[in-house]
Every structure is written in structure tokens, then in C-alpha cells.
Amino acid sequence: MTRPRLNAAISRSALSVCISIALARGASSQLVSASATSLSLGDNYTALARGVNAVNWNPANLGQPGNPAFSFGFAGRGAGGMDPISLGDLAQYSGARLPKAVLNEWLSRVKAQGGQSLEAEGSGSFAMSVGSFAFQVATNGYERGKLSPDAVEVLLYGNAGQSGVPRTMSLQGSRTEAALTTTAAASFGQGVDIGIGPINQHFSVGVTVKYIVGNTLLLGEDAGSQLDASPLALDVRFPIIQSDTSLTGMPKRGQGVGVDLGAAWSSGPIAIGATIQNFVNTFKWNVNEMYFRPGGAIFTTSGSRTTDFDAVGMTHVPDSLAASAAALGAQIDAMRFRPSLNVGAAMRVLPFLTAMADVRQELGNGMHLAERTHVGAGAELRIIPFLPIRAGLAAISGGYVASAGAGLDLFVLHVNAAIAARKTEFGQFPSAALTLSFGQ
């Protein structure tokens, strides 16, 4: 193989790795809210969620004043992007030759951040409530990937790198993780009215019971890939564990049950709510029913190439690959739903203005389906009663969320839309949601 042909092979191989990282099946969590109303308020909704939204946010709200006698709705929510080289950066030079100054600036940003991050998440749900009872089915997923600085340098400049002088480049640090789950949940909330003189108070408790199914999982992590300069050769080591992708039968990719507990109190213009999500959760991925791909390949200037991407069942991994498979398997085993403590408050400041705030903390490290920490506030303005305008802001682990949205309430029909700018430990990403619901 001539050097140009090797360079082409290296470029194609590197690009394939990047595409697999960037476009691995997108997905999300169990009951991450797909509500456009909650997104427009910066996801500060624990005290106010009613009807179909109470399943995710606080089942106790099903027993609070303002809960509709009947409601049902469809919702969708998604986000995605790249950082520090953004999708906007790529679109700006679509079909054009990149100036060297731009390449240098992009690589400088990647090195400063320690790599190039890619993230996508989305969710869709159907929910229905009848009085104090509610039901929701949600399918959610996420994909998060990272490329090492050297991997990005190879993509931008080829094997000669930024300096134009070939050197050994390490691809270690590159990673991809994707999961898709579906959750069926049933909620119940019961309230009591307590009067103390002229003051009327409403207290309620609630519970949500969930059955979670793991649809798809993929986890891959670079184990020491490198591009050697002399002699020129590419050594790929990117082992992957993936779930069965067959559509026949009922493969047991992952399953479990969960329980959320909630409480709520309101009096006049003030409302307070608290939940412990995943107070109990037995969900676990079935690693033994998955497949291991060694992800090995070697390309040399002599024209030789060796590849090893064939899938083998986790219970039949050869001894030579057992350590690599076990390391990834241990990461998957730790991908559980951890308890999260959520507290929220809301107050109608004026007849047309409501303010709210939330504080959330995940108790432990499990599947990265939402921010570990959240402290935020939001507001809803109804100068025109049937045209609510909303905005929210929150500090989250690794960054922030700034959002805005609006709704249209026509008798029993409610349409809500929201957009958000989100910065996380994976980078900066836009987010959007649209909800169509019916009910009081």
C-alpha cells in the first residue's frame, strides 16, 4: 500500500469512528420530562405540575387544587450539538475549503477543553390523567461521545498533524455511550383540606410506580489506539459492548421497577412540593445477554491490514479479551437509576404573574440521564389569559439552562412550545420541545 492509499485508509477509518460516535442511536432516560411547559420554565416545575405532567414531576400534585378532572397529551423533546467545534461552525464552512487559521483556532479550542464532545438526547411520551390517577408511557434516550485532541487533529490535518511533521498520535480518551429506555408509569395522589381559621390549606401525598425496559445500549471506549509516524501505521483499539439489535423475539436487554414518592402543600397563592424519585429502583442492564466487539484494526504502509470487529456473546468472550470486556461490563453494571431529591416552590406574585423555583440533587452516580444538580427559577406571565409567556434559568452541574416559551390555551386544547440554551459538562447545546394536550 502506498503512503497516499494508507492516508486515505486512515482518514476513512478515523471518520468511521467519528460517525459512529456522533450518530450512535440517540436516546434518554426513564421519565425525563417531555413537557414544553417545564422546559420553558427552566425545568422548575415540581410545585406546579398538574394532570399529565404530575407523573414525572410530583404525583402528590394529583391531589392538589387546580388538578384537572381529565387530561391527556402527547409530547416530544430533543437536543443535540457538538462542542467546542459546534454544528454552527461546521455549517458556516459547508462546501468550502477551511482556512488554516480556522483549523488552528478550532484545534486550540479542542485542546483547551480536553477533547471534542458530541451529545444528543430526545424523548417522546403519551400521558393521561383522570382525577387523582395518571398514566404515562415514555421512550427516552441519549448519546454522548468524546474525541481526544489527537483524534481531532488527525481529522483536521491528516496524519502529518498541525505541524506538518508526522508524529505518533494517541486516540485514547475517545468514548461513546448511548442508551434507549421505555417506561410505563402509573401515579396516584390523595389530598386533604385543612382549615385553620380563615386560612385554607391543602396537603397531599402521592406515589408513582414504574416498569422500565432497556431497549438498546451501546458503550465503547478507546483502549490505546494510536497513529504511528515511523513506520506509518494505524493501530485501532476501540472495544464495544452492545445490546442485541434483533427485532425478533424478546431479548432481555434490561428491566426493572421503580417507585417515586411525593408530597405537596398549598395555601392561597403559595405552593410547595417535594419528591424522592427512584426511592426504589431495581433496573439493571443484562450484560450477559449482550455482545462484545474487540474493535481492533491495524493498517500499515506495507499494505497489510488486520481487523477484528466480529461480535461475540459476553458469555463466550475468549480469555485474551476477557479483561477488556470485564472493564466495559463493570461500567454498564453501574448504569442504574439513582435516587434524586427534588424540592420546589411557587407563588402567584400578581394575578397575572407566577414565580417558581426548584432545587434537585441526584444521590449517587448512575446513568447520566439528567443533571446531577439543579438550582433554578422561572416565571409565567399571563397578561392575556390564554397566551402564557414563560422563561426560566437554572444553574446545573457543569453549566446552566436558559429557556423561554409560550402557550396557547383554547378551552380544552393546550399547545405549548419552548426553546432552551443548555451548557453541560459535555458542551453547549440547543434544546426544544412541543406539547399538545387536552383537558381542563
Please give the Cα distance from 225 to 297 (Å, whole number). 9
pLDDT at 204: 97
Domains of the chain: 3-439 (2.40.160.40)
- 24 or 275: which carries more pLDDT confidence? 275
Find the mean pLDDT for residues 116-133: 88
Q: How confident is the model at residue 195 (pLDDT cuts 50, 70, 90)?
A: confident
Say if pTM beats, i.e. exceeds, 0.85.
Answer: no
Please write the tens of the pLDDT for every residue from 77-107.
777 778 888 878 888 887 778 888 999 999 9
**251 pLDDT more than 60:** no
Show the cell assigned to 142: 441519549
**5 pLDDT more than 50:** no
Angle between helices 149-157 and 100-113 (to 10 degrees): 170
Task: Say what percent of the chain tops pLDDT 70.
Answer: 87
Please give the Cα distance from 392 to 394 (Å, whole number). 7
Find the mean pLDDT for residues 298-321: 81
**18 pLDDT more than 70:** no
Find the mean pLDDT for residues 280-285: 94
Q: In Å, how far from its chain's centre is CA 437?
A: 24
Q: How confident is the model at residue 20 (pLDDT cuts 50, 70, 90)?
A: very low
Find the mean pLDDT for residues 362-374: 77
pLDDT at 426: 64
